């Protein structure tokens, strides 16, 4: 990361020159490098501690009740109420409302980019309900239709579980991205703009790591499921394909949602003259690359957890 930062120094210099309209160059000093390493080490340390503590909490919950996994789910009374709304015609209306809450605020980005944070908050409430009231029932229905295809049934079932336990992390990642982009276009100082941009890159990376840790902490509970699959005749090649499809599908959903928000917000700001196309590309790359790296790491770790445990 430090090496990548040093390599990106000319890019940051070009960005500051573009913002200020004057030629600028950035020189790296030893003291600045030491401070940067110390701060990053401190941040990574606490990220590790917090995520490991979450993993231990889940392990304790699993010991006490093997059917319980901490997911940060909502109030059971609210859940029951929403399930009742999902029945019959009222359920159709409820799903349309959720879809409208998700999509309409995105369209309002183009009407009033300055209020994008408020619109994004409303949209995320809609997205939360879309996942709960539309995506989950759709996956259930799709699994039932393909019950004769055990491989598809298996990986879609795990994707459904992934969305349940990682929904909060996904929403936090999106709202952080929108917030920092909004702050970025509001800054008038080149130094502040670069600082916000670096913060955006750092937060995208750290929140991607949070998803990676949360995902990885849940994998230890899946060994027994894959042992069962092996006992009923699944070959290792089938299981590897299931893992690959599950990880790629889940991260595909994550990346698609991030791109959906960032592209629409950036496009509305470009149309308003508040953001350049170059900055938009930097924002997109900074949001997508950490997720892709985490996807590869998670798949590799997933394989190790499942197949090494069988040896």
Q: What is the pLDDT of residues 254-300, one digit of tens each?
A: 999 999 999 999 999 898 888 888 888 889 998 999 999 999 999 99
pTM: 0.74
Number of domains in the chain: 1
> Is position 45 within any domain?
no
> Is position 157 within any domain?
yes
| Structural domain that includes position 95 | 69-308
> Is position 135 within any domain?
yes
> Is position 33 within any domain?
no
> Is position 262 within any domain?
yes
- Find, among 74, 67, 70, 48, the residue nearest to 58 by Cα: 70
> Is position 167 within any domain?
yes
Q: Are 153 and 146 in contact, with CB atoms under 8 Å apart? A: yes
**Distance (Å) of CA 39 to CA 8, 47, 63:** 18, 12, 36
How far is 12 from 26, CA to CA, in rounded Å? 8
Q: What is the pLDDT of residues 164-197, one digit of tens each?
A: 888 988 999 999 999 889 888 888 777 787 788 8
Q: Which helix (H) or strand (E) holds 170?
A: helix 150-186
> Is position 5 within any domain?
no
Q: What is the pLDDT of residues 87-96, one digit of tens each?
A: 555 567 777 8
């Amino acid at each position: 990361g430090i090496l990548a930062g040093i390599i990106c120094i000319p890019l940051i210099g070009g960005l500051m020159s573009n913002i200020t309209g004057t030629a600028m160059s950035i020189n790296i000093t030893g003291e600045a490098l030491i401070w940067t390493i110390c701060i990053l080490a401190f941040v990574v340390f606490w990220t590790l501690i917090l995520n490991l503590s979450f993993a231990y909490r889940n392990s304790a919950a699993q010991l006490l009740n093997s059917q319980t996994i901490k997911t940060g789910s909502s109030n059971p009374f609210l859940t029951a109420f929403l399930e009742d709304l999902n029945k019959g015609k009222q359920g159709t209306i409820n799903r349309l409302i959720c879809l409208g809450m998700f999509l309409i605020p995105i369209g309002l980005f183009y009407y009033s980019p300055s209020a994008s944070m408020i619109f994004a908050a409303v949209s995320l409430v809609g997205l939360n309900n879309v996942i709960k009231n539309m995506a989950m029932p759709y996956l259930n229905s799709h699994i039932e239709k393909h019950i004769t295809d055990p491989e598809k049934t298996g990986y879609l079932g795990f994707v459904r579980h992934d969305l349940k336990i990682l929904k909060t992390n996904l929403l936090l990642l999106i709202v952080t991205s929108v917030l920092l982009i909004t702050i970025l276009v509001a800054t008038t100082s080149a130094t502040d703009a670069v600082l916000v941009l670096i913060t955006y890159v750092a937060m995208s990376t750290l929140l991607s790591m949070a998803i990676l840790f949360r995902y990885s902490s849940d994998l230890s509970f899946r060994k027994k499921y894959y042992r069962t699959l092996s006992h009923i005749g699944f070959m290792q090649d089938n299981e590897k394909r299931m893992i690959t499809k599950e990880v790629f599908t889940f991260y595909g959903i994550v990346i698609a949602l991030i791109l959906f928000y960032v592209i629409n917000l950036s496009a509305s700001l470009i149309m308003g003259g508040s953001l350049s196309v170059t900055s938009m590309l930097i924002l997109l790359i900074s949001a997508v690359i950490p997720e892709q790296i985490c996807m590869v790491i998670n798949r590799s770790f997933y394989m190790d957890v499942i197949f090494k445990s069988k040896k």
